[in-house]
Structures are given as C-alpha cells and as structure tokens.
C-alpha cells in the first residue's frame, strides 16, 4: 500500500497555479488597478508570463483590463468568490443578531447584503412587525446602482473599479424609471454618498419604499458588505435611521475583526 506524504517538500509544484493565485491576491490587496509590469516586478514573475495569466483571468472574468490606463483590476468573478465566502457563514452569522437588533430598535425592516458583480445579494433580512414584505429577501439579487446597499459599497470602491464595472450605459438596468442610467450620473451620485457618509434610495427599487445603507469596511477600507433599513412612512426620522445604520455597520466591522481605528 502506498502512502501519500503530507510534508511540504513532497507536494507537487504547479507554477502557473501558484502564480495565478499570487496575482489575484496581490490585486485584492491593492487600493486600485495596477500595471502588468508592476505586477511582474512586485511578484517576481516574468512579464510575458504575467500577460499570459492576465489574459486567461480576463477571459474568465477574474480581472478586467482598463486600456486607457494600461492597468488591471479585479473582475466580477472575483466578486462572486468574495460573495460566496461571505454567504458561507461568518458574515451572515455575525451580522444576523446586529441586523435583528437594528430592526427592533427602529421598528423598521433591516437587511445585510454583499456585492456580486454589478448586483447586491441579500444574505440577512429581518422584517419588523406589521411592516410590509420587501423584495430584499435572503438570496435575492438586485442591481447595485439602484439599491442603497449597492451604492454604499460602490462609493467605498476605488473609482477605477467602479468604471470597470460600469463602463457604459449598457451596464445599467432599470426597475422603476429612476436612478442613474449612465456612468456620469453614477459618479455624481456616488460623490454624494461619500459626502453624506451613507447611501439612500427612494422608490428606485420599489415604488413607495425608501432605504438608507452604510458599508461594512475591512482593514483597508474595502466594502465587504452593507447594512440597510427600509421603510415606507414619509414621516420617519431619516437622520435617526442613518445614525443607527452607520453604528451597526461599524459594530459589525469590529465584530469581524476589521477595527480600523
């Protein structure tokens, strides 16, 4: 009977796989897209090999090329992996009691979402008593540029990454006839989100419903999720809701070990 040794030296080496994973990890740690030459220099990988691997990763959606800037950044498939990890437990498990507490305090429905490509995916929903059902049930995907959660996370992304996700008007979908429909409109909206510190939407997902959201950021400021509250009462105190949502997002980041102070 043969025995498969488990020591490090005995493991087969797969240079292409190793280099590919190192490229993805390096891109994930960067604040924005990077030139292929810089990737090769930083990682000690031959330039021709870097271009070959980037072309393969681009074909599968894991990276995007910004030709005008001659730089490369993470693609939508990388966001899919991040969202998959988030759904597998740690984020939902840590967020569920905080989202439930937020809904109880405000008497309004609250939820937690992650980015997946140009969509947000809802992984936690807590419906407040005697409040109408929402479209943001667990497992539902909605266009990020129309939702408060999506806008909160997009505003926290590097601007070059947002350009890669929304290169032209074809990238924008519509639900109620409201919301940004072109890259310039989205850029202006996100500037407002950064200035306000929270994101909002009013009837752009469902007529008569409003939402406010705040991003949950990791050590580097990258948005790993967003917390939001949705309501219908026109007399609701939006400032109070915004403050509570922001505090909950910060607390969740701390619970996940992302204390940026």
Q: Average pLDDT, stretch 190-216?
A: 93
Q: Which helix (H) or strand (E) holds 228?
A: strand 223-231
> How far apart are the C-alpha atoms of 144 and 161, rounded to whole Å?
14
State which H helix or E strand residue 78 sits in.
helix 76-87
pLDDT (0 to 100) of residue 3: 41
Percent of the chain at pLDDT > 90 equals 45
Range name among 95-99, 121-125, 191-195, 211-215 with the lowest pLDDT average: 121-125
Superfamily of domain 79-255: GAF domain (3.30.450.40)
DSSP string, 134-187: -S--TT-EEETTTSHHHHHHHHHS-HHHHHHH--SGGG---SSS-S--SHHHHH
Residue in this structure with the two tokens 């490229």, named with its chain if needed? 23
CB 24 within 8 A of CB 57: yes
Q: Is the pLDDT of residue 1 over 50?
A: no
Task: Return the higher-pLDDT residue of 90 and 188.
Answer: 188
Residue 98's CB is within 10 A of a number of other CB atoms, namely: 21
For residue 86, is pLDDT > 60? no
Q: Where is pLDDT greater, at 254 or 128?
A: 254
Among candidate residues 191, 241, 237, the one with its CA nearest the CA of residue 214 = 241
State the DSSP code for 144: T
Taking the domains of the chain in order of start, what are their residue ranges? Answer: 13-74, 79-255
Dihedral sign, CA of 29, 35, 36, 38? negative
**Which pTM value belongs to this model?**
0.67
> What's the rounded mean pLDDT across residues 131-148?
78
Using N-to-C axis directions, what is the helix angle for 36-43 and 15-29, rounded to 10°?
A: 110
Helix (H) or strand (E) holding 200: strand 199-202
Do the beta carbons of residue 215 and residue 176 sit within 8 Å?
no
How high is the mean pLDDT of the chain? Answer: 85
CATH class label, 13-74: mainly alpha
Cβ neighbour number for residue 234 with a 10 Å cutoff: 7
Average pLDDT of the residues in 159-171: 90
């Amino acid at each position: 009977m043969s025995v498969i040794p488990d020591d490090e030296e005995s493991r087969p080496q797969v240079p292409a796989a190793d280099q590919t994973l190192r490229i993805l990890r390096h891109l994930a740690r960067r604040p924005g897209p990077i030139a292929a030459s810089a990737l090769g220099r930083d990682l000690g990988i031959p330039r021709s090999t870097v271009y070959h691997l980037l072309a393969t990763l681009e074909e599968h959606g894991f990276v995007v090329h910004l030709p005008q800037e001659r730089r490369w950044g993470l693609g939508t498939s990388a966001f899919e992996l991040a969202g998959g990890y988030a759904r597998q437990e740690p984020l939902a498990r840590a967020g569920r009691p905080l989202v439930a507490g937020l809904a109880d305090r405000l008497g309004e429905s609250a939820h937690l979402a992650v980015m997946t490509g140009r969509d947000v995916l809802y992984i936690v929903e807590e419906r407040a008593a005697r409040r109408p059902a929402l479209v943001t049930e667990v497992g539902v995907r909605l266009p990020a540029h129309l939702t408060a959660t999506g806008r909160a996370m997009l505003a926290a992304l590097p601007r070059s990454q947002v350009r890669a996700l929304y290169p032209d008007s074809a990238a924008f979908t519509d639900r109620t006839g409201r919301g940004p429909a072109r890259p310039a409109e989205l850029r202006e909206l996100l500037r407002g989100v950064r200035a306000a510190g929270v994101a909002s939407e009013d009837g752009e997902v469902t007529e008569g419903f409003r939402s406010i959201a705040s991003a949950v950021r990791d050590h580097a400021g990258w948005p790993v999720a967003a917390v939001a509250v949705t309501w219908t009462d026109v007399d609701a105190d939006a400032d109070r809701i915004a403050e509570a949502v922001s505090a909950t997002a910060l607390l969740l980041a701390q619970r996940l070990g992302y204390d940026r102070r």
